Amino acid sequence: MKHIDLQEKITFHKDHFIPNILYASPKVKMPLICMEPGQVIPPHGGNSAGIFYVKEGKGIFTLDDEKITMEKGMVIVAPEGSSRGMKCLERMVVLAVSAGG
């Protein structure tokens, strides 16, 4: 098993959001999402289920037509086939895992 120190992987880009892919295989992908206030991941379809753990910050998660407030310590589960996106309100770090699809 591979050890990952999340703190050393946290990187912010002021101009635009760039995911830091911590792990990828044919069935599992694990990006670390580090966003500045105002940065957005537009809602998009997901072939796989997604799990989003908010490590730091605040934002708004869009799950299909629902808006969910994202806060430190929260976990959001997006089922396979659902539309998902997020907007950062306060500097945010989110660990995401997508599996299946």
Which tens digit of pLDDT belongs to each residue from 56-88? 999 999 999 999 999 999 999 999 999 999 999
Look at the chain and count its residues.
101
Identify the burial level of 27 via C-beta atoms within 10 angstroms of its C-beta, where 0-12 means exposed, 13-18 middle and 19 or more buried.
Answer: exposed
Whole-prediction pTM = 0.91
Token couple for 56: 């730091």
Per-residue pLDDT at 101: 63
pLDDT given at position 15? 83
Beta bridge partners of 32: 20, 95
Place of tokens 């703190």: 7
How far apart are the C-alpha atoms of 2 and 33, rounded to whole Å? 19
What is the architecture of the domain spanning 6-99?
A: Sandwich (2.60)
Residue 52 has pLDDT above 80, yes or no: yes
